[in-house]
């Protein structure tokens, strides 16, 4: 692929946790959002951008990309996932495949 650099395995040096939100019913039938761990892979972290947006109030927006080894389950769930990195939860907005089933780039954003 032109323009996309495949990472070296040694660059996957940060531990992240991937979560999937599910609705679970308790004994009396109430639904509750529960985050379940999908996997805890090693990742390469790229800081994409940060800034402030005004939409009625000032929000701080941070974008990061996480590159992990290819996993079919992560590829199919794509933007239903959340990434926990150093105590901060990012929403996955897009999953891009790098190479032929070699790596996945998780494009994430958080508003604070």
What is residue 4's predicted lDDT score, i.e. its pLDDT? Answer: 58
What is residue 69's predicted lDDT score, i.e. its pLDDT? Answer: 94
What is residue 1's predicted lDDT score, i.e. its pLDDT? Answer: 42
**Region 21-37: what's the mean pLDDT?**
86
Element containing residue 110 per DSSP (H, E): strand 103-111
Each residue of 41-96: pLDDT tens digit? Answer: 999 999 888 777 776 777 788 899 999 999 999 999 888 999 999 999 999 999 99
Q: Can you give the residue ranges of every domain in the chain?
A: 11-111
Position of tokens 């323009």? 3
* pTM score over 0.85: no
More confident residue, 9 or 19: 19
Q: Which CATH superfamily is domain 11-111 in?
A: Bacteriophage SPP1 head-tail adaptor protein (2.40.10.270)
Check residue 27 and report its DSSP letter: T
**Region 20-46: what's the mean pLDDT?**
89
pLDDT above 70 covers what percent of the chain? 96
Q: Tokens standing for 30? A: 């109430």
* Of 46, 106, 29, residue with least CA distance to 71: 106
């Amino acid at each position: 692929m032109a323009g996309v650099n495949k990472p070296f395995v040694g660059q996957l040096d940060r531990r992240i946790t991937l979560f999937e939100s599910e609705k679970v019913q308790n004994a009396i039938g109430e639904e509750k959002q529960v985050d379940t761990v999908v996997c805890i892979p090693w990742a390469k972290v790229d800081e994409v951008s940060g800034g402030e947006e005004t939409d009625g109030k000032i929000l701080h927006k941070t974008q990061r990309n996480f590159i992990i080894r290819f996993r079919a389950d992560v590829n199919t769930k794509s933007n239903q996932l959340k990434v926990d990195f150093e105590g901060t939860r990012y929403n996955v907005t897009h999953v891009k495949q790098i190479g032929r089933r070699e790596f996945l780039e998780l494009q994430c954003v958080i508003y604070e």
